[in-house]
């Protein structure tokens, strides 16, 4: 969802999910955006679930500047 006003006027930014089912071997839980200010303000999305939930861990992927599309395939965080 995107908006040009705080708290209202939201519209769908995409027709499909950014993190589609089956993209990785874990669920796409708890996505969070990280801005790498030491690398030219590069945006990344981090998502996943802990192993105690029988998940495969966490993944990270760089976002394009539009922040609604992936610039790379997700990589597992070790």
Confidence band, pLDDT 50/70/90 cuts, at residue 21: confident
C-alpha distances out from residue 77 to 8, 11, 30, 57, 62, Å: 35, 32, 15, 7, 13
pLDDT for the residue numbered 60: 95
pLDDT for the residue numbered 38: 95
- Which candidate, 59, 70, 64, places its Cα nearest to that of 17? 70
Give the residue carrying structure tokens 């209202």.
Answer: 8
Percent of the chain surpassing pLDDT 90? 45
Number of domains the chain contains: 1
Q: Is the pLDDT of residue 30 over 90?
A: no
Confidence band, pLDDT 50/70/90 cuts, at residue 37: very high
């Amino acid at each position: 969802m995107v908006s040009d006003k705080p708290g209202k006027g939201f519209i769908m930014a995409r027709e499909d999910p950014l993190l589609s089912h089956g993209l990785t071997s874990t669920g796409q839980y708890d996505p969070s955006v990280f801005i790498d200010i030491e690398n030219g303000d590069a945006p990344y999305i981090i998502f996943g679930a802990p192993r105690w939930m029988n998940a495969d861990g966490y993944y990270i992927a760089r976002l394009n500047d539009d922040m609604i599309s992936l610039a790379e395939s997700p990589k597992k965080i070790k």
